A and B are shown apart, each in its own frame.
Chain A
Amino acid sequence: MSMPDHAHDEMAAAPRPPGGPMPRFEAAIVPKSSIAGRALMAVVAIMTFLASLTTGAVMLVQAAAGEWQSEVAREVTIQIRPAPGRDLDAAVNQAVDIARAQKGIAEVRPYSREESGRLLEPWLGSGLALDDLPVPRIIVVRLASDGGHDVAALRQAITALPGASLDDHRGWVERMRAMARTAIAGGAAVLALMFVVTVLSVAFATRGAMANNKPIVEVLHFIGAKDGYIAGHFQRHFLALGFKGGAIGGGAAIALFAAAQLLSDWFLATAGGDQVSALFGSFSIGVAGYLAVALQVGLVSIVTAVTSRRTVRQTLAEMT
């Protein structure tokens, strides 16, 4: 703008001092750092962390339940009851031969008389004379994991032997399935609640942070910025803020799961480790788990950005 000379006299123009503060020509339209912004990032980080933990826990339970089920379902037990005049050893050998002749059988392992005795030790104590007791003999049949087995045909063949029966643990598997379903449904419900809480708290925290920026929205509006320009700046700023918070929370959750997996691997050979492993499997949420956490981070960022955009639009709507 070309100014009249006498106006220069009026306003006493002064030269720029040497060595002043570093010139800055284009600050971000939305201030990068503010107390409300940091508080929002903390809320996003904490909520993403908790939501990621819940997701990971649900996935662990699901994986462990699946593992328990398949372990139990891959095994059937043949039982041969003693009876007067029955040669148990011969009956066991016969049953083993029948089982091995079936398709899709990975392993057939008959328990010896001593092994059967050891199974009873917790109830009857050691040093028993098993000859005096009618202890049935057990044969554990492991089914091939790639399928091809026909349990019904095996049952038919085994039950044809006198005193023999086949237990496919169907009762256990059903109970296990029901328990797993309950655990997963419970986890999914907690996850859904957690997700709603995360979205609501992030939305409210974003609105809080936006309230501090209302004067900026107003000034931009009055100097002729279009609504899309203003909303775009805020959306980008809050998307970045949400992403940073989400990455911190999600990253912390991933680190926690990775550490848990590492610890469970270290203690795998110990008695305690084996118990934990039996309950939770490998303690790994796997690639799907890490992807789910990454998805949550993205989702939380989008919720933050969309909420800020809506708040800006509402603020602008109130102004005209």
Chain B
Amino acid sequence: MVRFENVGLRYGLGPEVLRDLNFRIEPHSFQFLTGPSGAGKTSLLRLLFLSLKPTRGIVTLFGHDIGVLGKDALATLRRRIGIVFQDFRLLDHMTTYENVALPFRVMGREEATYRDEVVELLHWVGLGERMWALPPVLSGGEKQRAAIARAVIARPQLLLADEPTGNVDPSLAQRLLRLFIELNKSGTSVVIATHDIALMDQYDARRLVLHDGRLHVYD
């Protein structure tokens, strides 16, 4: 599904922040991405969600070399990836329902064709009562769940989550982890970037550890 071959990344003329990355993310797999602050987790996530292109090496996503793809083709690939940002990035002028339905809208689907699906998912993540609320009135946990719902609504093949439990209490963190595990069981590959060792200890999964720009894989 994802293959990195001798990938290096530098910003401008600065030093390489990621060096010689060689790894794969297999279909239906679950992995934590961890490492100390400044190790390059966010840069690696940005490479994974096609926000950056490597300065050397080859990144292959769903069988495509991203270095040779045009903008529209990259946008089409992004639709197969769900992203949960640490700061949620919900659109404040849209209701929870509209935020979650956004991936369907950009695909050009008619509202009537996805309404039931969105409503069902919102109930599933416990936001049934908050469907018509705007993000500024949602709590941190509700925003987090709305962001996760938006990331998974279009059934992505790969889900990337950046510190998804960074803003929630341990009990909600555990519930969110359960949600990711359920999604993984239903066929989505999951990559969770986190510092939270307690969270990683709750689930026995592959660990990708970044240190000083290099990746160490613990299967």
List chain A positions with a Cβ less than 8 A from chain B: 1, 3-4, 6-8, 10-17, 20-29, 31, 215-216, 218-229, 316, 319-320
Contact = CB atoms under 8 A, between A and B. Distances in A.
B155 A13 contact: no
Contacts of A29: 105
Interface string B9-26: 000000000000000000
A320 B74 CA distance: 10
B125 interface: yes
Interface stretch (B29-37, B87-95, B193-201): B87-95
B93 A1 contact: no
B65 interface: no
28 contacts: A1-B117, A6-B182, A8-B123, A10-B178, A11-B123, A11-B145, A12-B126, A13-B124, A14-B128, A16-B129, A20-B129, A20-B132, A23-B97, A24-B97, A24-B98, A24-B132, A25-B97, A26-B105, A26-B111, A28-B93, A220-B102, A221-B75, A224-B106, A224-B154, A226-B75, A227-B72, A320-B71, A320-B74
Contacts of A22: 132
Which has the most chain A C-beta neighbours within 10 Å: B53, B106, B121, B154?
A: B106
Interface in B168-185: 175, 178-179, 182, 185
B2 interface: no
Interface in B62-82: 71-72, 74-79, 81
Given A10-B175, A13-B126, A23 B182 contact: no
Contacts of B126: 11-14
B39 interface: no
Given A1-B155, A25-B111, A223-B103, A14 B175 contact: no
Contacts of B4: none
Given A3-B120, A3-B121, 18 more contacts: A4-B185, A6-B182, A8-B124, A11-B123, A11-B126, A23-B131, A24-B97, A25-B98, A31-B93, A219-B89, A220-B106, A222-B51, A223-B79, A223-B83, A224-B75, A226-B75, A228-B72, A320-B52
Closest CB pairs A-B (n = 9):
A224-B79, A13-B123, A31-B93, A225-B106, A224-B78, A11-B126, A3-B124, A226-B75, A14-B128
Contact of A215 (B91, B103, B153): B91
Interface of B: 49-53, 71-72, 74-79, 81, 83, 85, 89, 91, 93-95, 97-98, 101-103, 105-107, 111, 115, 117, 120-121, 123-126, 128-129, 131-133, 145, 150, 152-155, 175, 178-179, 182, 185-186
Contact of B51 (A10, A31, A320): A320
Contacts of B129: 14-17, 20
B72 A226 contact: yes
Nearest to B88: A219
Nearest to A3: B124
Given A4-B186, A23-B132, A223 B94 contact: no
A11 B126 CA distance: 5
Contacts, number: 128
Contact of B98 (A15, A27, A228): A27
Given A13-B123, A224-B103, A224-B106, A27 B182 contact: no
Contacts of A20: 129, 132
A216 B91 contact: yes
A10 B128 contact: no
B123 to A, nearest CB: 4
B111 A224 contact: no
Contacts of B182: 3-4, 6-7, 10
A315 to B, nearest CB: 13
B179 A11 contact: yes
A125 to B, nearest CB: 81
Contacts of B101: 25
Given A13-B128, A15-B128, A223-B150, A7 B179 contact: yes
Contacts of B49: 222
Contacts of A225: 75, 106
B72 A27 contact: no
A261 B128 CA distance: 62
B156 to A, nearest CB: 9
B124 A11 contact: yes
Nearest to A29: B105
Nearest to B181: A7
A38 to B, nearest CB: 14
